[in-house]
Homo-oligomer: A and B are copies of this chain.
């Protein structure tokens, strides 16, 4: 999943750059004050609209959109069945020596091994899921705001450029280039919103959905293990979380 996001980003930027390059000098499209007004203005106003802690955290969330690799739920189910099997045969404490790759599942199993009661374990893990969701929402809110602000800043920059151009029209030959520069901020704003901020928001909401499903599946596993559920029953229960094709069942 991660690579597609990166490829898509590079593809989008690449195609637009190529289209620019075939039309002439690429440097025509690089204008420092214009970049400053759009990016600086967008982040300045973002600092106004959200608390600084959320502002900083939203950059950490960025990596999730690009680099996140969804763990295959079928693998999680296999692991869950193995652990429930061990717990059934040798008791909950035997789980202490098992190697568990998934961090969230390991945390849950540790809580079981420590002897906490099921209600407490469930509350602790649910809370962690909720905090994962709210962290993700902070990121979505930030980048959604950027998606609104960048085009607005682009328009403001273009208006500034137009006013300056219109006030000094003594040299007709400078009108064209001045207007070209004025339009650059609108272009930057549209690029930032459509090729960066808004796709990030969409991707984050999907990453969150997948992660939430996986974590709920693990929560179900831990509850099942604590209740001493039959591994076969647990497997069929967990399989209802995923689609037909992805199941690794042996009932054929």
Interface residues of chain A, those whose CB is within 8 Å of chain B, are 1, 3-5, 7-16, 18-20, 22-24, 28-29, 33-34, 36-37, 40-41, 43-55, 70, 123, 127, 131, 145, 149, 152-153, 155-157, 159-169, 173, 175-177, 179-180, 183-184, 186-187, 190-191, 193-195, 198-200, 202-203, 206, 240, 243-244
Contacts and interface: CB of A to CB of B under 8 A. Distances in A.
B194 A12 contact: no
Given A127-B240, A183-B163, A40 B11 contact: yes
B23 A164 contact: yes
Nearest to A184: B163
A167 to B, nearest CB: 4
Copies of this chain in its oligomeric complex:
5
Closest A-B pairs by Cβ, 4 of them: A8-B47, A12-B44, A11-B44, A4-B52
A7 B46 CA distance: 11
A238 B24 CA distance: 63
Contacts of A33: 18-19, 22-23
A39 to B, nearest CB: 9
A238 to B, nearest CB: 13
A166 B162 contact: no
Contact of A167 (B54, B160, B176, B191): B176
Given A29-B163, A159-B183, A187-B163, A37 B15 contact: yes
A199 B146 CA distance: 12
B16 A48 contact: no
Given A12-B44, A157-B19, A152 B190 contact: yes
A160 B19 contact: yes
A49 B160 contact: no
Contacts of A3: 52
Contacts of A1: 51-53
Contact of A49 (B41, B53, B159, B198): B198
B11 A190 contact: no
A24 B162 CA distance: 12
A242 to B, nearest CB: 10
